[in-house]
Amino acid sequence: MADITMYDLPGCPYCAKVRSKLDELDLEYDVIEVPRSHSERTEVEEVSGQTGVPVISDEANGVEGMSESDDIVEYLEETYGASA
Residues numbered 17 to 76 that lie near ligand GSH (CB under 6 A) are 51-54, 68-70
Is residue 5 close enough to count as binding ligand GSH by CB under 6 A? no
Cβ contacts of 46-51, under 8 Å, gap ≥ 24: 47/7, 48/7
Closest-CA residue to 44 (of 9, 82, 79): 9
Report, in Å, the least distance between residue 40 CB and ligand GSH: 13
Among 4, 6, 8, 14, binds ligand GSH (CB under 6 A): 14
Q: Using an 8 Å Cβ cutoff, are 8 and 33 in contact?
A: yes
Residue ranges in contact with ligand GSH by CB under 6 A: 9, 12, 14, 51-54, 68-70
